Structure 1
Amino acid sequence: MTIAELYAKLANKDFQDYNTAKLFWPVYMYGYDPKDEYKIRQEILDIRDRLHRPNTYLNVLTLDVFEEFLAFLDASSFGKKNKLEFYLENESSKPDKVHQALLKDANDAKFQEWIHKRISNHLEASEKFEVAYVFLYGWGAIFPYLRTSKFLNNFEKNVGKYKLIVFYPGKVKPRYNLFGLVNDENLYRATTLINE
């Protein structure tokens, strides 16, 4: 599925209903060639803006999971500093400890709740608009701290009243393969929007 075909699918009124999800879990994976990362990021914003135009009038939330992680760390107290400051100050002197701490924080239920709250706040603030989609990207930047499959398995309980479109820099068939190099666990319930 090309980006143009993806836009046509997302603009389709029947597809926008989150109740039409395969197996009633409205999560979709769009795999793309990692070398197209910056082009895809621009396409994500373009699709969001096109869906917001008067003919479709959807309020699409776009979240860069890596930028959200940085904001989460910046908002997390750690003594007199926040975690982001602390990790940046200590990454060169204690790289292994900082790496382990980042792994723990990225996979913590508190970070899941941070993302869920961002989505919930957007939905509440957008009552007069129809919100059909949340676009989630930035998986290449947050690697190796967070795997897409692990995040989605843990986030499953939060997805509802919107379709989550995950933009994945790698292959999604026959199994998830980040950057075409790192194998990951597949999610049997996520629907694939592109065939490699």
Structure 2
Amino acid sequence: MTITELYDQLSDKGFQDHQTGNLFFPAYMFMYNPELEYEVEKEILDIKNRLHRPNNYLDVMVLDIFEEFISFLKNEKFGNSTKYNFYLEHESNKKDAVDKALKQDAYTEKFMNYLRDKIADHQNDADYEIAYVFIKGFGNSYPYIRASRFMSNFEKHIKGYKLIMFYPGVAKGYYSLFGLLQDENLYRAIKLINE
């Protein structure tokens, strides 16, 4: 599926109902060639704007998972500092420990709740019905946030909208980030919409 075909699918009235979908699970993945990252970034904003126009009246929230994780760490108190500052300070002399801690923080219930609450706040403030939440930034967040594991942890929080994940890679029985790095096994409930 091309990015143009993606817009056509998202603007389809039947698809917009968050209660329809693969096994009634409202999460989808759009995989794309990593070399097209810049074009896809522009297209994501274009799709968001086009869905918001009067012929659709839909609200689309775009989240960059990498930026959200950074923001979360900057808000997490850790002693007299924040986790973000603590990790920066110890990144060079305790690299393995910082890597391990970041990988744990990425899947905590606190981070999942942070994202859930951010989406809920947006839903409450939106002028139009929120139909989609786009999540991008999985390339930047690797290896700390892996798409499959993220989805298995965030699944229970998806309510009242469809989640569209933008993933720079391919599926080979597992996610292959950039078509080179093996991620985790495919998560059962995600329909790959660019088959």
TM-score category, normalised to shorter length: over 0.9
Identify the residue that residue 180 of structure 1 maps to in structure 2: 179
Please provide the CA RMSD for this pair. 1.1
Aligned to 1:153: 152
DSSP 3-state at the match of 1:151: helix
Aligned 8 A contact 2:32 2:167 in 1: yes
TM-score, normalization by structure 2: 0.95
Q: Secondary structure at the match of 2:62?
A: strand
Q: Once the two structures are superposed, what CA deviation does each residue of 1:118-137 show, in whole Å capped at 9, x if it has no partner?
A: 111111112x4111100001
Q: Give distance in 1, aligned partners of 2:22 and 2:108.
A: 28
Measured after TM superposition, the shift of residue 173 of structure 1 is: 4.8
User: What 5-or-longer segments of structure 2 have no aligned partner?
Assistant: none
**Equivalents in 2 of 1:173, 1:26: separation in Å?**
22
Q: Which amino acid aligns with 1:147?
A: R
Unpaired runs of at least 5, structure 1: none
Percent of aligned positions with the same letter in both sequences? 48
C-alpha separation in 2, matches of 1:150 and 1:95 = 23
Shift of 1:172: 2.8
Distance 2:171 2:99 in 1: 27
- Give 1:90 deviation, angstroms: 1.5
Whole-angstrom distance in 1 between the partners of 2:11 and 2:180: 33
SS of 1:60's partner is strand
Indicate yes or no: 2:116 matched with 1:116. yes
Map 1:1-196 onto structure 2 (within 5 A).
1-126=1-126, 128-183=127-182, 184-195=184-195
What count of residue pairs does the alignment treat as equivalent? 194
Report the secondary structure of 1:117's partner residue.
helix
The residue type equivalent to 1:93 in the other structure is: N
Is the CA contact (8 Å cut-off) linking 1:51 and 1:59 kept in structure 2? yes
2:123 corresponds to which letter in structure 1? Answer: L
- Could you say what secondary structure the match of 2:185 adopts? coil
Give the aligned residue type for 2:79: G
Provide the TM-score with structure 1 as the length reference.
Answer: 0.95
Q: Distance in 1 between matches of 2:171 and 2:114?
A: 26
Mapped contact 2:173–2:185 kept (Cα < 8 A):
no
Query: Equivalents in 1 of 2:154, 2:89: separation in Å?
Result: 31
- In proportion to residue count, which structure has more strand? 2
The answer (yes or no) to whether the contact 2:135–2:163 under 8 Å persists in 1 is yes
- Take 1:87 and 1:65, find their aligned partners in 2: how far apart are those partners? 18
User: SS of the residue aligned with 2:14?
Assistant: helix
